[in-house]
Amino acid sequence: MTTPDTATSASKARTWRYRVVPYLLIAPAIVYLAMFFAYPMYEGLVLAVYDEDALLPTRDEPNLDGSEVSKIPQGTALAIVDRSSQEVVGDENPDALTDPWYQVTADDPTGSPITGWVSEARIRVRDEDAAGAPVSGTVRPRLAATSDPLTDVYEAPNDRSEVIGKLEQRAPVEITDVALLEVWFQVRPADDPSAAAGWAPSRFLQVFEDGENGRVHRGTDGEFTTAFIRRMIDDRFFGPAVRTTLLLMVLIIPAQLVLAMVMALVIHARTRLSTGFLYAFSLPIGMSDLAAGILFFSIFTGNGLLNSILDALGIIDGPYAFLTADTVRWIIFAIVLAELWRATSIVMVILVAGLQAIPDETLEAAELFGASYFQRVRHIMLPLLRPSIQVALILRTILAFQVFAVVIALGGGDVVTVLANESYRQYFGLRNNNVASAYAVFILLLSMASAFFYLRAVRSEPEARPT
């Protein structure tokens, strides 16, 4: 009985290993995807729809242990009801906006010794111990003639506690203790006097000069919101950006596909010049898109190549300004040309690879059975290239949603704008990370939708693939 049992358990162990090993092998890929793909995407998405500072919770006591009274949205006008200073113990709240108080021992104006608390603002520290803690100092003089020249000493580190004495200016003091104080305000929304008042730390509030009114500067609790997306859609550049991006796609991609197919067929014809054509056609792959934009800018600009040629041919009398706000069509034309020149070769490379995967005998068979060159292209090459065309279309459409540098180089970014440019404008120009993220997410969604569309529409049946 033991032998079959051992065998079974051994084979079980082996099966288990076969099941786990593939997952171990793809673990690095999963880590990579999570770190460099899923996480940034998640963060971007969160930025676009989640407002981290939306709500400020108020408490029934002026400290963090108090239970919550209400949440007041960011920017709400407040009426200030009361004010309190709270000692912050240790490092429990490193973000707190604190004000240090010193416990001092000194002689009062009458000469009798006194021990009490004085705000840091009233003490100049003269000596510190090795750890940097203040040891001794002097009372600061008051400069304003109207105020009391003496400094109040409080019983506790709080300006609401009892004044137990006063100190003369420049009186030497010994510092025996330090307390960190944070001011809390009891507030309620200004437009709703009946609402319950709650306490909130000063760092989240903006208190006006009168000391009785203020507003919520920022909250601590986040909230999902469509505000950023609405702001993106309401932006005056949003419509033009979407329209221009789509227009460029419609103008560029079909032309690009046809051009790339012709180039691929030229290379696939295997004439003596094919290799030369391949190098010539794929040269622009090595160029950055900004460089391509600048290159075409130099062609279309006032003293550029195009004007020089037209002038030399006597077609125009003086330089024609192609790239101005009044000649948006010319800008679009230049962008289309630059993109065609720059990005057609990557489509061509994909199609050449696809063509080379078609066996020679398949094409010879078509030729032998009477198909002319164009019939071979139509009946054999194009159908067998479907997977390659699909890849090329997906790649090009996604890249078309991201078109940016060429547009900036040729149009400056204001007269002609695209989605990627708007994301850039929001992030760097207007410092609005959330709306910039909303644009980024919008581009991402469009890309995914188009990829999905192509996968469906240009679907190649699995059994129709070359074997």
Partner 1 sequence: MAEIRIEHVTKTFGDNVAIDDINLTIEDREFLVLLGPSGCGKTTLLRAIAGLGMADSGRISIGGQDVTYLPPGQRQISMVFQSYAIFPHMTVHQNIGFGLLMNKVDKAESDRRVRSAAELLHIENLLDRRPSAMSGGQRQRVAVARALAMEAKVLLMDEPLSNLDALLRLEMRAELKRLLADVEATTVYVTHDQIEALSMGDRVAVMLDGKIQQCDAPNTVYESPSNQFVGSFIGNPPMNFMEGTIQRDRDTVTVAVGEHEFSPPEALQPLIRDLSSDRITLGIRAENMETLAAPSSDTVPVTIEVVEPLGAQNLLTARIGGHRLKVSTHPSLDVAAKQQVYIRLPADQIRWIDPATESVLYKR
Interface contacts to partner 1, rule CB under 8 A: 359, 361-362, 364-372, 375, 379-380, 383-384, 386, 461-467
Q: Pick the closer one to partner 1 by CB: 6 or 372.
A: 372
Q: Pick the closer one to partner 1 by CB: 21 or 464.
A: 464
Shortest spacing between CB 389 and partner 1, in angstroms = 13
Shortest spacing between CB 378 and partner 1, in angstroms = 11
Angle of helix 386-401 relative to helix 328-356, nearest 10 degrees? 150
Longest dimension (CA), the chain: 122
Shortest spacing between CB 361 and partner 1, in angstroms = 4
Q: How far apart are CA 332 and CA 353, in angstroms?
A: 31
Q: How far apart are CA 458 and CA 386, in angstroms?
A: 7
Distances from the Cα of 422 to the Cαs of 232, 252, 323, 418, in angstroms? 9, 21, 20, 6
Question: Phi and psi of 147, rounded to 5°?
Answer: -85, 170
Residue 57 burial (10 A CB sphere; 0-12, 13-18, 19+): middle
Please provide the DSSP assignment of 48-100 as one string: HHEEEEEEEEEESSSSTTSPEEEEEETT-EEEEEEEEEEEEPTTS-TT--EEE
Shortest spacing between CB 376 and partner 1, in angstroms = 9
β partners of residue 82: 186
Q: How far apart are CA 205 and CA 216, in angstroms?
A: 5
Question: Phi and psi of 127, rounded to 5°?
Answer: -135, 145
Q: Pick the closer one to partner 1 by CB: 365 or 449.
A: 365
Q: Pick the closer one to partner 1 by CB: 171 or 265.
A: 265
Residue 460 DSSP code = P
Shortest spacing between CB 380 and partner 1, in angstroms = 6
Q: Which residues lie closer than 8 Å to 214 by C-beta, 6 or more apart?
A: 77, 78, 80, 185, 187, 205, 206, 207, 208
The H or E element containing residue 416 is none
Q: Pick the closer one to partner 1 by CB: 109 or 383.
A: 383
Q: Pick the closer one to partner 1 by CB: 278 or 381.
A: 381
Among residues 230, 228, 200, which one has the least CA distance to residue 215?
A: 200
Nearest 5°: the CA angle 199, 74, 195 is 45
Residue 402 DSSP code = T
| Strand ranges in 205-275 using DSSP code E only, listed in sequence order | 205-207, 213-216, 221-224
Shortest spacing between CB 388 and partner 1, in angstroms = 13
Q: Pick the closer one to partner 1 by CB: 118 or 384.
A: 384
Q: Pick the closer one to partner 1 by CB: 254 or 383.
A: 383
Shortest spacing between CB 392 and partner 1, in angstroms = 18
Q: Pick the closer one to partner 1 by CB: 127 or 364.
A: 364
Q: Pick the closer one to partner 1 by CB: 74 or 362.
A: 362
Q: How far apart are CA 419 and CA 408, in angstroms?
A: 12
Shortest spacing between CB 391 and partner 1, in angstroms = 17
Q: How far apart are CA 419 and CA 438, in angstroms?
A: 11
Shortest spacing between CB 362 and partner 1, in angstroms = 5
Shortest spacing between CB 457 and partner 1, in angstroms = 17
The H or E element containing residue 367 is helix 360-368
Shortest spacing between CB 307 and partner 1, in angstroms = 49
Q: Pick the closer one to partner 1 by CB: 132 or 462.
A: 462
Q: How far apart are CA 39 and CA 252, in angstroms?
A: 32
Q: How far apart are CA 415 and CA 346, in angstroms?
A: 29
